[in-house]
Copies of this chain bind each other. A is one copy, B any other.
Amino acid sequence: MAGTDIRPIPAEGIEHWDHEADVVIAGFGIAGVAAAIGAAESGADVLVLERTGGGGGAAALSGGIVYLGGGTRLQKACGIDDTPENMKTFLAAALGPGVDEQKLDAYCDGSVAHFEWLEACGVPYKDAFWNQPGWEIPNDDSLMYSGGENAAPFSTLVDPAPRGHLAQVPMPRKGEQGAGHVLMTTLIAKAGELGVRIETDVRMQRLVTDTDGRVVGLVTTRFGKQVAVRARKGVILATGSFAYNDEMMQAYAPRLYKRPAATVEEHDGRGILVAQALGAGLAHMDACEVAFFCDPQLMARGILVNGRGQRYVQEDTYPGRIGQLTLFENDNQAFLVIDQKSYEEGMAAPSSSPQLKRQPTWVCETVDELESEMGLPSGSLTSTVAEYNRHAAEGSDPVLGKKPEWVAPIGSPVAAIDLRGNTGGFTLGGLRTTVDSEVLHVDGTPIPGLYAAGRCTSGLSAFGYCSGISLGDGSFFGRKAGIHAATS
């Protein structure tokens, strides 16, 4: 970012305001659209500035999972019991330590109503629960496990409930358009119905402040020309993560440097930087969603070992947890060891990620040969498999607690899939905000007129992750930002 000027500009320096609205929102992804609807529903005149040619952002390309629970209408329709307390207990364990307790409470207590609001906005959901391991859902069902709630160690801590809520997709699917596309087109249409104005191809550059330090607008560029936008009530930053800002990645999340996934290149961290230039504080800048590029239907049926030939994760858990533990705790070294019978079952099992049905790297008659082919330390894998098989013969997994349905002794022939370095992801850290999405100065007070939500903020995750947390906290705290800015 060196050389670009991201410092605030005084309002008296603006000779002409090109646009004006009560609430001005930078970015039209999930947080931006939720903020726009929230502000418009609160009676505000709303203008959204979108950097690309149209709305949607990373959300439209995503799997479209929104993490919600505590007894939503969809959960109940699928016969799932859940409470806000169970949801809090799970998320505190899965996303922590260091979770923002106030945000977690607000989110879990408001989750049922937030789902009602999504449905009221027109997002379609089908009352059907997809109970299979996977990153997403391959058919048009709408509810799934998306955080390892039903796998050890969390399943022993609190009663599991699936909380991944996916918009129902039209069948047969059209190309890559999944639940994220349905979610975003529906919400963008709703914003339009409410009279939200949108300016596209407008790139946020700097915040504008008055003499009291209040944020009163934005300076942007459109095809290189400066466009000044006045915000009568508030500016909302919804500009996404810093996954594509090399300097910030090196400084905060170097293990994912140059390996973005499930993100878009507009996520350059600028929304974070313009607020930092006003003294805004940060949180959890090292936290990352980590995708792991292997089909969960294969992983659950084998064992994952690290570079020392040791198991290190429940293979039947949320694959993003596998990704995090692989990247952050096992030096990005992973191998899936699986016998032929289980491999064939896994390949035949339904999956939303057919491109992750990986081919074996090595196939051998014995584990001893396999270990040697893989170049693992002598005796390491054979020892691990022997120990696993001894318990698996009784259907148990005392070391990691994989569910009995996925436990079976590893037979012959046996294969290994080389999954070293098979991770990518996006960042979860960002601006510190209040539960009303006000951006906090490092002195602990809100910066007047400035709000933020989505992945330019630190939301619910302190380190861990579940799929749906970003669309979840982005839409929930985005809506809060819109309401608060409109009514402040």
Cα–Cα, bound, A330→B330 (Å): 10
A377 interfacial contact with B, CB 8 Å: yes
Which of B6, B250, B281 interacts with A98 by CB under 8 Å?
B250
Number of copies of chain A assembled together: 2
Q: Does A277 contact B310, Cβ atoms closer than 8 Å?
A: no
Tell me whether B254 and A97 are in contact (CB under 8 A).
yes
Rounded to whole Å, the gap between the CB of A404 and the closest CB of chain B is: 15
B residues near A13, Cβ cutoff 8 Å: none
Q: Does A2 contact B (CB under 8 A)?
A: yes
Contact A251 B458 (CB under 8 A): yes
User: At the interface, yes or no: A443 with Cβ under 8 Å from chain B?
Assistant: yes
Residues in B whose Cβ lies below 8 Å from that of A281: 251, 276
Residues of B within 8 A of A309 (CB): 399
Given the contacts A279-B7, A279-B278, A251 and B432 also touching, CB distance less than 8 Å = yes
Considering the complex, give the chain B residue whose CB is closest to the CB of A101. B250
* Whole-angstrom distance between the Cβ of A130 and the nearest chain B Cβ: 31
Q: Determine which of B4, B284, B377, B399 lies in contact with A252 in the assembled complex, contact meaning CB atoms within 8 Å.
A: B284
Neighbour of A379 across the interface among B7, B312, B391, B400, CB < 8 A: B391
The segment from A143-151, A223-231, A352-360, A380-388 that touches chain B is: A380-388
Main secondary structure of the interface of A (DSSP, over half): loop
Residue of chain B at shortest CB distance from A387 = B383
Give the complex CA separation of A284 and B384 in angstroms.
36
Is A345 among interface residues, defined by CB-CB distance under 8 A?
no
A442 pairs with B277, CB closer than 8 A: yes
Interface residues of A in 257-298 (CB under 8 A from B): 257, 273, 276-279, 281-286
Alpha-carbon gap, A257 to B96, bound state (A): 12
Across the interface, A251 reaches (CB within 8 A) one of B283, B386, B399, B441, namely B283
Q: Measured between C-beta atoms, what is the minimum distance from A94 to chain B in Å?
A: 14
Whole-angstrom distance between the Cβ of A153 and the nearest chain B Cβ = 10
Cβ-defined partner of A285 (8 Å) among B252, B255, B400, B445: B252
Could you say which of B1, B7, B254 contacts A463, with CB atoms under 8 Å apart? B254
Q: What is the distance, in angstroms, from A400's C-beta to the closest C-beta of chain B?
A: 7
* A283 and chain B: residue at smallest CB distance: B251
Q: Which of A247, A443, A462 has the most CB of B within 10 A?
A: A443
Q: Mark A1-39, 1 if CB is under 8 A from B, else 0.
A: 111111100000000000000000000000000000000
Q: Quick check: is A53 within 8 A (CB to CB) of the other chain?
A: no
CA distance A251 to B255 in the complex (A): 19
Question: A379 — which chain B residues lie within 8 A by C-beta?
Answer: 387, 390-391, 398
Q: List the B side residues contacting A3 at CB < 8 Å.
A: 443-444
Q: When the two chains form their complex, are residues A254 and B96 in contact, meaning their CB atoms are under 8 A apart?
A: yes
Is A117's beta carbon under 8 Å from chain B?
A: no
Least CB distance, A462 to chain B, in whole angstroms: 6
**Known contacts A251-B283, A399-B380; is-contact A2 B98 (Cβ 8 Å):** no
Is A116 part of the contact surface with B, judged by Cβ < 8 Å? no
- Per-position binary interface string of chain A over residues 114-143, scored 1 when its CB falls under 8 Å from any chain B CB and 0 otherwise: 000000000000000000000000000000
A2 touches B377 (CB 8 A): no
Residues of B within 8 A of A443 (CB): 1-7, 273, 277
**B-facing residues in A281-337 (Cβ within 8 Å):** 281-286, 308-312, 328-330
A378 at interface by CB-CB < 8 Å: yes
Q: In the docked arrangement, what's the CA distance between A283 and B429, Å? A: 13
For A279, give the chain B residue with the smallest CB separation.
B277
Asked if A282 and B285 make an inter-chain contact with CB atoms under 8 angstroms apart, the answer reads: yes
Known: A254-B462, A308-B399, A383-B387. A442 touches B273 (CB 8 A): yes
Bound Cα distance from A463 to B330, whole angstroms: 15
Residues of B within 8 A of A378 (CB): 391, 398
Closest to A384 in B: B383
Nearest CB on B from A220, distance (A) = 17
Cβ of A6: which chain B residues have Cβ within 8 Å of it? 442-443
By Cβ-Cβ distance, the 10 closest A-B pairs, closest first, are: A98-B254, A2-B444, A286-B286, A251-B283, A329-B329, A377-B398, A97-B254, A277-B279, A377-B399, A276-B442
- Please name 4 further chain A to chain B contacts, defined as beta carbons within 8 Å, in addition to the given A7-B279, A97-B257, A379-B398, sorted by A numbering: A6-B443, A251-B283, A251-B458, A379-B387
Report 11 cross-chain contacts, Cβ distance below 8 Å, ordered by A residue: A3-B444, A6-B442, A276-B442, A282-B285, A328-B329, A377-B398, A378-B391, A380-B387, A380-B398, A380-B399, A383-B387
